[in-house]
Structure 1
Amino acid sequence: MKPTPSQRRRGPRAALLALVLCSLLVPLAFIFDRAPSGYVTTDERRRQEVFVPSFVHVEPSKGGGGGAVDPVPVHGVIQEKKISNGTAAVLQRHEQTGRNSSGVSAKPKVPPVPRTEPPKAVNESTQRTSEVSNARKRRGAKADEVENAKACQLEFGSYCLWSTEHKVIMKDSVVKRLKDQLFVARSYYPSIAKLQGQEVLTQEMKQNIQDHERVLSASAVDADLPSFINKKIEQMEHTIARAKSCTVECHNVVRKLRQILDMTDDEAHFHMKQSAFLYNLGAQTLPKTHHCFSMRLTLEYFKSPSLDSDVSLARKFKTPNHRHYVILSKNVLAASVVINSTVISSKEPGNNVFHILTDVQNFYGMKYWFARNSYKKAAIHVVNYEGMILEKLPKFSPRELYLSEEFRVLIRSTERPTEQTRMEYLSLFSHSHFFIPEIFKDLKKVVVLDDDVVIQRDLSFLWNLDMGDKVNGAVEFCGVRLGQVRNLLGKTKYDPKSCAWMSGVNVINLDKWRKHKVTENYLMLLKQLVKNNDEVSLREAAFSLSLLSFQHLIYPLDKKLTLSGLGYDYGIDPEVARSSASLHYNGNMKPWLELGIPDYKKYWRRFLTREDRFMDECNVNP
């Protein structure tokens, strides 16, 4: 039987109606879908938007890991602020998502079920399941700790390493209980205050909150708590129990708890920033005792008769046959330890000549100190760097003495941003290093030592090195390659596979330096890379200027020559430190500061001259 025309038209109408109905239902399904996976997907997409644009993707090479590098100086770079803000935003979103998911869920009250003993097999299975679950929780907690440590170090630098090492375990359980009670009471108080007929409970809760606040303002530990504190705790427990028995809107209490939690997080972050600022201030500021010591030496210099060196020592300063060391320093004790450790470790101390480049403020104090202390017949030459530059290079704008610059470098892969993040610390030449050939025109080869270095072996073999056509003998650091920092090197040509290098102990061939015109190339790059002549821009530019000026001119020294990281790394083996030829305290935790790492200070202290009346009068005890 053939269908009628009306029946033939009814089929397409039904299909069209079904299609329209599906088109309406599908969007509604997405709108009302509240699955947790939707939040995770959104959060991951936002995380990519925060992290990925901050880093430049670099193809992996054989020599170094594929990643991107944002070098960040200790003194602060704009990129550091971008990274820190991005990290904070992601963490804040993640915490907010966690609070939403935990705050909405509420467990209904269920009547108790009669307890029965399960079979033995069920017990064993349950035990194995709980062990696996606990192991997963421990691994998850450990991963969270590592991620939090990376985020903290990214924002606050080496302060996080120091604070972790000096973390104080809270033992005051009563104070913690008081704070917990105070948080709960504050969350219930707004809801209780709105209820009619609960004026007495409201007044009682208000009084208990004020009493807790008064006690906590005067007591930070259990030992400072008053004798009647147990009575106050019982009263608060009773008040909170009465508040919980009242019929209140739970979402108001939850919202209040979230507000208190946010305020607590903000307060903790504020104190973290404040502590990090004070830590950096203490790391970069000369202690009061050291300042007193320098001023006393300067005063004694002008009170004493002439301290000019004799003719024989002055002749040594310009004789190329001797072993010449160059030290840039503004710290008398630091320079003294470098010289004393080098002389004691040397087989021929009388053949050593030390040239100390310092600023005009510390020039006279250093001259007085090294004139009244002898170092096994080694010649000490104190040079006023600022006066020398003003005399020989009057057109050069940065006349201030700059010490070796230290940079904090973040290395992160764009493919796995949370697992392959590492922080490295680089120490490079400053602007002042590039004028050593102009200051010492009569010398052919020198060894440049940072003032945070301790020498433990004889370094005479460095003068026998045949560096060929190379200029700078340095320990290479292939954890950072030039291709990974190309966004900071400008348009200058360079080999992307070249490794970075470290200052600390550097052999400089001055003849090859002059032949390759390293100083002239440095001045040309300085004009290209530095637009503003302010101090911050100059110190930031030292990273790229040091790497580009010595392009293809680095002679790699043995890595065993210098052990770096004693100013920030707590994980160095004492046996390795004891057997190294030289120790480099690069980082914020210098050995002459109270912030210095105690386990490594002893290698620096044993070369310190202690029998001096000025150190006793100024209470210098590093």
Structure 2
Amino acid sequence: MAFPSTSSVAYPRSLSPLRRCPGFLALLVAVLLFLSFQWAQGSRELSWMPQCTVYLISSNDIYEGMDNADKTIAYTNQDGRIRLFKVTTREFLSSSIWKNPLLPKDTEPVAEIQEIAEEQLLATGSEVSNLSSTETLETRTDPIKLKREVFRRKRKEHRIQELLQVDKEAELHMRNVATNRSRNFSNKVRASYNIWRLQFHHTNTDSTLRLMKDQIIMAKVYATIAHSQKQPDMYALLMKCIKLCQEAIGDAHMDYELDSSALERAKAMGHALSSARDVLYNSDEVSRRLLVMLQSTELNIDSVKKQNSFLVQHAAKTVPMPLHCLHMQLTTDYYFRDGTIKEYFHDAALKEEEDKAKREDRSLYHYAIFSDNVLAASVVVRSTVTHAKEPEKHVFHIVTDRLNFAAMTMWFIRHPPLPATVHVENIDNFKWLNSSYCSVLRQLESARLKEYYFKAHDPSSLSDGNENLKYRNPKYLSMLNHLRFYMPEIHPKLDKILFLDDDVVVQKDLTPLWDVDLKGMVNGAVETCKESFHRFDTYLNFSHPKIAENFDPRACGWAFGMNMFDLKEWKKQNITGIYHYWQDLNEDRKLWKLGTLPPGLITFYNLTYPLNRNWHVLGLGYDPAVDLAEIENAAVVHYNGNYKPWLDLAVSKYKPYWSKYVDLDNSHIQHCYMSEQ
């Protein structure tokens, strides 16, 4: 409040003597000094101000600089006397707002923003009284920032409400699912229930069996120690327990197969081992004995592996008795043409004359099969005709050896795959196939190759453990295996032919293969390289300069078994001549071992067109982990390897794909295979 100037006011006469009274002035000065002293003491009791009028001192300072935390206030009490005191912003309520009467009303902050400002100040841990001289309250409570904070708070509250609603809905959904699950739950095997997974619960365990085997191992260790320390009683006790436990185990593989006395003998062995441990235990000695046993066991394992490899190779190259019986029965019927057999031959002769033109008809679908296995060849033909959309247009050219020609011919005379055409030929009728023309025949007649196969001192015996034992298989000596390199000579009037191995099964129509554009390549085949497997360096000797100079060791390999050959391109590029060149270089077997795939990779190098993998799936003769989905979707499945489907070695889960095409109603098959069982 402004006081009126003394120059513009007329004082009453009653007061005029005061002006001339110096004592009065001294008293007035004393009163002012007293009031100043009271102000300095910081008297700030608002309760002293009932029904008083308050005046803000230095209002410009208050509103221009909020950093002044201490404010001076003047007021008049009930007696009309003027009083002064000092307050700070902390003494106002949290809802109080500084109002500047000089500013418009629309620029004044609202209570909500003021509340947020004070919360921010409290969150920073600072107080108004501690603000520095350079940091003002105005900057800490910027209106724009405060409004943003208000919006953030509202969004946060809205989001919290949404999450709470979602949580309630999710909880209700989970509760309903749990209720339905409990209603439909059925535990049929309650006696076998446990807190773990039911499928891991085994009724027949081998825990007791494994315990007894471990006991035998430790008993042998302590028995050798007892024998070396000349303790015959302990040695005899342990050996007796070992013998009893071995008798109880027998050939058991599970606990239920153990002898009824197994538990009692295991307990007796436990007591014997406890006694031996008290007397004979020495950690160094026991460790040494166990190490010796481990080394001996490893040697036994290596020996068993070699024996297993030898037996598998031997079984793979051995003709099963039922299959041999089938060939003999068919051969007998071929040469003794009595009764109804004569009628079969008469009909076959007539059909052969009718089908003679088909053998050279380029508009038909021609297949080449080289086999000495009647049953295998019959499955290939039957499975192909079964899935052919136009079976009358399919012609099968089967070439076999002199020994099996009668049986092969007799089978297809009695079981022709009508309306398809089958023509069986004897390899001995190919007069052009002689040692002067064919490199392989010339090598087969050489003394070195005969020595490699037939000499007793050659490392084909089990004791030498030859890693290339599989190459001693007689099929590598058979010329039937190499006829695939003479396609134009065998079929001079054909343009295209599909080669099929006798260990394949056809599951789809193969006629679309004739429409595949080989783009000038000679051989259409499925590539077999997966990561580092089945590449050229797997089959060829790249330490030889001839191989290293002409081929890429990382080139992708492919497979024989289902191959589309363009015979026109074959003749144009002289593929047979290339084959002869490399066969002559490999006479001493330094470029590759025996077989047809290595020379095939060389002969058709950069001349092979990759077909889609679904056309040809391999590995059913050696790999038990072939994807069943790939097998089902494959056009041709191939039993390459030793585990052929007609052998007892066959992988059981793959055998049905082949056996369903065997004519089990055939009298010869029933006679040979049923009698074997």
Q: Is the 8 A contact 2:368 2:396 kept in 1?
A: yes
The answer for the alignment partner of 1:526 in structure 2 is 583
Structure 2 counterparts to residues 530-569 of structure 1, below 5 A: 530-531=587-588, 540=594, 542-569=596-623
Match of 1:506 among 556, 563, 570: 563
% same residue: 32
Q: Deviations over 1:42-67 (max 9, x none)?
A: xxxxxxxxxxxxxxxxxxxxxxxxxx
CA, structure 1 residues 376+245, in 2 after alignment: closer, same or farther (shift >3 Å)?
same
Match of 1:192 among 226, 233, 257: 226
Structure 2 counterparts to residues 374-385 of structure 1, below 5 A: 374-385=416-427
In the TM superposition, what is the alpha-carbon distance from 1:572 to its structure 2 partner? 3.9
In the TM superposition, what is the alpha-carbon distance from 1:344 to its structure 2 partner? 1.9
CA, structure 1 residues 262+512, in 2 after alignment: closer, same or farther (shift >3 Å)?
same
Q: What residue identity is the alignment partner of 1:546?
A: G
The answer for the alignment partner of 1:464 in structure 2 is 515
Q: Deviations over 1:539-574 (max 9, x none)?
A: 625343111211222223233322223333444443
In the TM superposition, what is the alpha-carbon distance from 1:355 to its structure 2 partner? 0.5
Alpha-carbon distance in structure 2 between the residues aligned to 1:478 and 1:200: 64
Match of 2:429 among 388, 395, 399: 388
In the TM superposition, what is the alpha-carbon distance from 1:526 to its structure 2 partner? 0.6
Q: Is the 8 A contact 2:368 2:397 kept in 1?
A: yes
Q: Deviations over 1:232-267 (max 9, x none)?
A: 333322222222112554433322222222223333
Match of 1:182 among 200, 207, 216: 216
The answer for the alignment partner of 1:436 in structure 2 is 487
The answer for the alignment partner of 2:326 in structure 1 is 293
The answer for the alignment partner of 1:347 in structure 2 is 389
In structure 1, the residue corresponding to 2:424 is in which secondary structure? strand
1:576 to 2:630 alignment: yes
1:357 to 2:402 alignment: no
Alpha-carbon distance in structure 2 between the residues aligned to 1:383 and 1:488: 41
In the TM superposition, what is the alpha-carbon distance from 1:350 to its structure 2 partner? 1.1
CA, structure 1 residues 327+252, in 2 after alignment: closer, same or farther (shift >3 Å)?
same
Q: What residue identity is the alignment partner of 2:275?
A: R
Q: What residue identity is the alignment partner of 2:607?
A: L
1:494 to 2:531 alignment: no
In structure 2, the residue corresponding to 1:432 is in which secondary structure? helix
Structure 2 counterparts to residues 135-214 of structure 1, below 5 A: 171-195=205-229, 198-213=231-246
1:335 to 2:369 alignment: no
Q: Deviations over 1:467-505 (max 9, x none)?
A: 343211222345454477561675155352643222222
In structure 2, the residue corresponding to 1:235 is in which secondary structure? helix
Alpha-carbon distance in structure 2 between the residues aligned to 1:204 and 1:598: 46
In the TM superposition, what is the alpha-carbon distance from 1:390 to its structure 2 partner? 5.1
Alpha-carbon distance in structure 2 between the residues aligned to 1:324 and 1:188: 73
In the TM superposition, what is the alpha-carbon distance from 1:367 to its structure 2 partner? 0.2
Q: Is the 8 A contact 1:175 1:220 kept in 2?
A: yes
In structure 2, the residue corresponding to 1:540 is in which secondary structure? coil
Alpha-carbon distance in structure 2 between the residues aligned to 1:437 and 1:232: 74
In the TM superposition, what is the alpha-carbon distance from 1:611 to its structure 2 partner? 1.4
Q: Is the 8 A contact 1:356 1:382 kept in 2?
A: yes
In the TM superposition, what is the alpha-carbon distance from 1:184 to its structure 2 partner? 1.5
In the TM superposition, what is the alpha-carbon distance from 1:372 to its structure 2 partner? 0.8
Q: What residue identity is the alignment partner of 1:246?
A: V
Match of 1:476 among 517, 527, 537: 527
Q: Is the 8 A contact 2:374 2:408 kept in 1?
A: yes
Any unmatched runs of 5+ in structure 1?
1-167, 403-427
Alignment size in residue pairs? 424
Q: Is the 8 A contact 2:249 2:259 kept in 1?
A: no
In the TM superposition, what is the alpha-carbon distance from 1:388 to its structure 2 partner? 3.3
Which deviates further from its counterpart, 480-489 or 451-460?
Answer: 480-489
In the TM superposition, what is the alpha-carbon distance from 1:606 to its structure 2 partner? 3.0
Alpha-carbon distance in structure 1 between the residues aligned to 2:270 and 2:589: 63
RMSD over aligned CA atoms reads: 3.4
Q: Is the 8 A contact 1:324 1:355 kept in 2?
A: yes
1:451 to 2:505 alignment: no
Which deviates further from its counterpart, 303-312 or 178-187?
Answer: 303-312
Which deviates further from its counterpart, 244-253 or 348-357?
Answer: 244-253
The answer for the alignment partner of 2:296 in structure 1 is 263
Alpha-carbon distance in structure 2 between the residues aligned to 1:170 and 1:255: 35
In the TM superposition, what is the alpha-carbon distance from 1:434 to its structure 2 partner? 0.8
Q: Is the 8 A contact 1:192 1:248 kept in 2?
A: no
Structure 2 counterparts to residues 405-420 of structure 1, below 5 A: none
Q: TM-score, normalised by structure 1?
A: 0.61
Structure 2 counterparts to residues 1-400 of structure 1, below 5 A: 171-195=205-229, 198-213=231-246, 215=248, 225-246=258-279, 249-304=282-337, 305=342, 306=345, 308=349, 310-385=352-427, 387-389=428-430, 392-395=433-436, 396=438, 398-399=440-441
Q: What residue identity is the alignment partner of 1:507?
A: M
Alpha-carbon distance in structure 2 between the residues aligned to 1:486 and 1:200: 62
CA, structure 1 residues 195+486, in 2 after alignment: closer, same or farther (shift >3 Å)?
closer
Alpha-carbon distance in structure 2 between the residues aligned to 1:276 and 1:486: 24
Alpha-carbon distance in structure 2 between the residues aligned to 1:247 and 1:347: 80
In the TM superposition, what is the alpha-carbon distance from 1:268 to its structure 2 partner? 3.4
Q: Is the 8 A contact 1:325 1:446 kept in 2?
A: yes
CA, structure 1 residues 516+263, in 2 after alignment: closer, same or farther (shift >3 Å)?
same
In structure 1, the residue corresponding to 2:422 is in which secondary structure? strand
CA, structure 1 residues 341+231, in 2 after alignment: closer, same or farther (shift >3 Å)?
closer
The answer for the alignment partner of 1:596 in structure 2 is 650
In the TM superposition, what is the alpha-carbon distance from 1:195 to its structure 2 partner? 4.7
Alpha-carbon distance in structure 2 between the residues aligned to 1:247 and 1:557: 69
Q: Is the 8 A contact 2:541 2:592 kept in 1?
A: no
In structure 2, the residue corresponding to 1:441 is in which secondary structure? coil
CA, structure 1 residues 488+584, in 2 after alignment: closer, same or farther (shift >3 Å)?
farther
Q: Deviations over 1:173-200 (max 9, x none)?
A: 444333322221221223334557x554
Q: Which has the higher contact order (CA 8 A, sep 6+)?
A: 1
In the TM superposition, what is the alpha-carbon distance from 1:273 to its structure 2 partner? 3.4
In structure 2, the residue corresponding to 1:476 is in which secondary structure? coil
Alpha-carbon distance in structure 2 between the residues aligned to 1:295 and 1:365: 7
Which deviates further from its counterpart, 581-590 or 387-396?
Answer: 387-396
Alpha-carbon distance in structure 1 between the residues aligned to 2:657 and 2:628: 10
CA, structure 1 residues 374+180, in 2 after alignment: closer, same or farther (shift >3 Å)?
same
Q: What residue identity is the alignment partner of 1:190?
A: T
Alpha-carbon distance in structure 1 between the residues aligned to 2:535 and 2:234: 68
Q: Deviations over 1:400-449 (max 9, x none)?
A: 9x9xxxxxxxxxxxxxxxxxxxxxxxxx9952211222122222221111
Alpha-carbon distance in structure 2 between the residues aligned to 1:349 and 1:199: 82
Alpha-carbon distance in structure 2 between the residues aligned to 1:488 and 1:507: 32
